[in-house]
Structure 1
Amino acid sequence: MARGRFILLEGCDRAGKSTQCEMLVAAMKERGHSVELCKFPDRTTTIGQMIHAYLTNTRELDDRAIHLLFSANRWEAMQAMKRKLQQGIHLVVDRYAYSGVAFSTAKGLDLTWCKNPDRGLVRPDLTFFLDLPTSEAEKRGGFGEERYEKRELQERVRDVFLQLKSNEWVIVDACKSVQSMHNELLREVEHKIRVAEEDAKLADDEDDILEDMFM
């Protein structure tokens, strides 16, 4: 049995990540896949509640402190995520370490320092970057409600994301319709899973989880 695939959706605020994650999970379930949705930050944990208070402007924290809290929020989910992937469950993840690095670097922290707390996290098998100009994001409902939703910061965040991207990333035009984006994401995911399943049938060795984030 092939292990589950870690499918990540990244992008600036209001790019449509949460909507696309939910649509992707629903479509994969319809096709018979075992799949779960994960969101970062996970605001249900004690650490997540501190992050939520910060993001909603009800608590002030030093930029380095909040960066480390975001990282800790990811680390506390690692064992459960690994276990699910090993059980053959696919994970569709809404934001991850790339967001943490992009936002903190955009605020003026050192890029390498920002990467260090997340080194060794499970690395995604497939990363989508939903690319949306800030001028378009501002037109979408809810923009500006949270701390980071400011034009200048969002533009710097996008620049850092583009520095972080690798050839393995799939860049998606987030100006397209919701359905067009969904069709593109689902097509890429189905291809990734199909190739992994075919490789698993041929391979003698175990298909290891990628534990080399930022290495």
Structure 2
Amino acid sequence: MIVQKPSTDNPKPRGAFIVFEGVDRCGKTTQVGLLVKHLMTAGLAAMAMNFPDRTTMVGDLINQYLKSKQELDDRSVHLLFSANRWEAVPKLEETLSEGTTIVCDRYAYSGVAFSSSKPNLATELEWCKSCDVGLPAPDAVIFLDITQEQAEKRGGFGDERYEQSDMQKQVRKQFDKLQKEDEADGRVPWHFVNAAQTVDEVQHDINKIVESTISSVQESKKPVGKLWKAEK
């Protein structure tokens, strides 16, 4: 059980920023919803976010592209995805400061992994990352781990532009690179969860990780970090 401990100098601890990542059809959306419900049942303020956010003007362009209704240059598309995250920063930071935990379905890691998996940007991992340097950093990344074969057996695979086997396999390799870089940096922990388990088993593993993360955030009282930005 997570217990918020108000103090005289900090009556309301900030919320934790939890990011879910993984290849398409690994179960992120389902688990994000279950986690938010679990946290709220435990008496904690929590809300879900997702990227891309298709409700904004930028998000609408992204949606047209993902639905193959619009063709755009690879760099332009990457900048659109990044802009979609940046436009959400004020709301994200305000929500965390008010003590609400944010559970996010995809973030900059997905943006970089997918863009750098395209042939035109295969050697541009650092450029792809540079567009998101300084975004709020998550307190934990939960990677739902599943084989490509298992993902393709799930309903809806292939409905959108990026849901192609070769693309997804390359995306997984790029996720691995990003995880290793974060591991070496030591500021954003990644947690791998076996997404081939039952929904309940996956949820159980996630709940333990998130409860521990929230407790750590509350006890440390550290401000939200900056993604891929060196501390001074």
Give matches, 1:1-215, under 5 Å. 1-108=12-119, 109=121, 110-165=124-179, 166-167=182-183, 168-200=189-221, 207-213=222-228, 215=230
The runs of at least 4 aligned residues of structure 1 exceeding 6 Å deviation read: none
- The secondary structure found in structure 2 opposite 1:91 is strand
- CA shift at 1:179, angstroms? 0.8
CA distance in 1: counterparts of 2:229 and 2:153, whole angstroms: 33
- CA shift at 1:214, angstroms? 5.3
- CA shift at 1:195, angstroms? 2.7
Structure 1, unaligned runs of 5 or more: 201-206
- CA shift at 1:197, angstroms? 2.5
The CA RMSD measured in Å over matched residues stands at: 1.1
Determine if contact 1:47/1:69 at 8 Å carries over to the other structure.
yes
Distance 1:175 1:104, change over 3 A: same
Structure 2, unaligned runs of 5 or more: 1-11, 184-188
CA distance in 1: counterparts of 2:195 and 2:166, whole angstroms: 19
CA distance in 2: counterparts of 1:47 and 1:28, whole angstroms: 31
Amino acid at match of 1:25: V
CA distance in 1: counterparts of 2:53 and 2:218, whole angstroms: 30
CA distance in 1: counterparts of 2:145 and 2:61, whole angstroms: 28
Determine if contact 1:118/1:214 at 8 Å carries over to the other structure.
no
Q: TM-score, normalised by structure 1?
A: 0.94
CA distance in 1: counterparts of 2:197 and 2:228, whole angstroms: 30
Percent identity (aligned) = 45
Determine if contact 2:47/2:102 at 8 Å carries over to the other structure.
yes
- The secondary structure found in structure 2 opposite 1:44 is coil
> Over residues 157-202 of structure 1, what are the superposed CA-to-partner deviations in whole Å (9 max), with x where a residue is unaligned?
00000111033100111111111110111111111112332344xx
Determine if contact 2:132/2:227 at 8 Å carries over to the other structure.
no
